[in-house]
Structure 1
Amino acid sequence: MEETGRTTHTLAALMELRKRILNGDFPGGTRLFEVALAETLQISRTPIREAMSRLAEEGLLDRLANGGFVVRSFTFADVLDAIELRGVLEGTAVRLAAERGAPADALQEVQDVLAQLDACFGSAPRDVDFEAYSDLNAQFHTLLTALSGSAVLQREIERATRLPFASPSAFLSGRTNIDVFRQSLQVAQEQHRALVAAISSREGTRAEFIAREHARIARRNLEYVILENPDLIEQVPGLALLNS
């Protein structure tokens, strides 16, 4: 019972700290102190320490030599590299799925989510259910990479996408209801369909190419914010961690 309570407190601390870091409440380079956080969050120090260890694994915190933690900051180049890495890993996953042959039931599950994604679009170009699409998009990508049958790849893709700006849904939350991002969804959905078709047809090279191009949508959205409209940075979760 005591162990369950600690796990609950660790999860609560993890979610709250992650939210505050991504919102920019703790800028990059900020040293986090267990005692102060425990008092602020009304949680004991052990769950706080465990939550910070988890956030270090996710790449949001760095461990200090003395055992403490500091909030990481990232350069624009870091973000581009993270997106590129996701594209490479997902490309490899879908190529293997196509070459090895995805199980029919697993492929059907992906197609079912694809149909639900289609239903997020209304008749008008601006009529998109952003929140539903965001959740389903994350589910689609998880199921898609699972088709590879590679636990190693799935683990590495999960690690790569823990950084918020590298996630397939990085630009799809309700806070990023931006016209340019809406427009990119139509292209993204066409690529989703093409990916499923390539895997079904056992076209590994084609599937890999599409996945790599699919990740570049996130890169273009990022460049739109950072290079053309920096006033939008606060609307994109995680970009508050970028070095100015």
Structure 2
Amino acid sequence: MPLSQHAYQHLKRRILNGDIPADTILSERTLAESAGLSRTPLRSAITRLEREGVVGRMSNGALMVRSVSVDHLLEIVALRQILEGTAAARAAGFGPTPALLQVRQESLAALQGPCQSFDEFWDMDSRFHDAVAEASRLAALPAILSGQRAIARRCTITRQHDHFDAQLHEHLAVIDAIAARDPDAARAAMAVHFAHVKSRFLAWLGR
């Protein structure tokens, strides 16, 4: 793997995981030392993250991790509700894929097991949404959703939840509607899921 790609993945992973919080001023020297890299591949990685809007430069030239506002997060939820509702309906026309059925088994097992960490649930949540997108046979959709999810993950509000049973039940409702080959039910179940996602975010803000 090229050093610039390694630097990009290392830095972006630390930002997405919250190891480098939003509004943090970045030091090229400190980042290079933490990644064990020279500044040349690091600068290439930073340039790429600037293009993606993950980091930005202040008026004095300093680098900073961009924050994601609640308004932006809610816009993403609204956009994904439309896109993924359509995807779920299309997937129901084709029927469930092996990947989607595997996610169903993982979800059932998770409901019977111990509480998951945020990162564990996020990975399972990614597999669910990716599997629905792929089952819809909309080739461009997985990449679009991946980009939107990466932005949402940088909003600190997404990390405030520590109990995920409700989301897992919502996922199962979508999968079961797809398995029943019921497009209307699949679209409706996905709409309910995102409505609840929004309500959970707003409830946290109201605390």
Scaled by the length of structure 2, the TM-score of the pair is 0.77
Partner of 1:122: 112
The size of the alignment, in residue pairs, is 204
In structure 2, do the counterparts of structure 1 residues 116 and 84 end up closer, same or farther at CA, with 3 Å as the change threshold?
same
Choose which of 3, 23, 27 in structure 2 pairs with 1:27: 23
Deviates more, 1:148-157 or 1:73-82: 73-82
Q: SS of the residue aligned with 1:213?
A: helix
1:195-230 CA distance string (max 9 Å, x none): 1222223322321221122123322222232221xx
Deviates more, 1:202-211 or 1:55-64: 55-64
d(CA) in 2 for partners of 1:68, 1:157: 30
Are the aligned partners of 1:87 and 1:215 in contact in 2 as well (CA < 8 Å)? yes
Q: SS of the residue aligned with 1:121?
A: helix
The aligned amino acid for 1:116 is: E
d(CA) in 2 for partners of 1:227, 1:119: 32
1:111-168 CA distance string (max 9 Å, x none): 1221121112238xxx53446544323212211211011122222111211113489x
RMSD, matched Cα = 3.4
* Structure 1 segments unaligned to the other structure (5+ residues): 229-244
1:5-36 CA distance string (max 9 Å, x none): 443344334334554xx3464517x4x45456
Choose which of 1, 5, 8 in structure 1 pairs with 2:6: 8
Partner of 1:199: 178
d(CA) in 2 for partners of 1:217, 1:63: 35
Q: SS of the residue aligned with 1:162?
A: helix
d(CA) in 2 for partners of 1:68, 1:161: 26
Are the aligned partners of 2:88 and 2:132 in contact in 1 as well (CA < 8 Å)? yes
Partner of 1:90: 84
* Structure 2 segments unaligned to the other structure (5+ residues): none
Are the aligned partners of 2:14 and 2:20 in contact in 1 as well (CA < 8 Å)? no
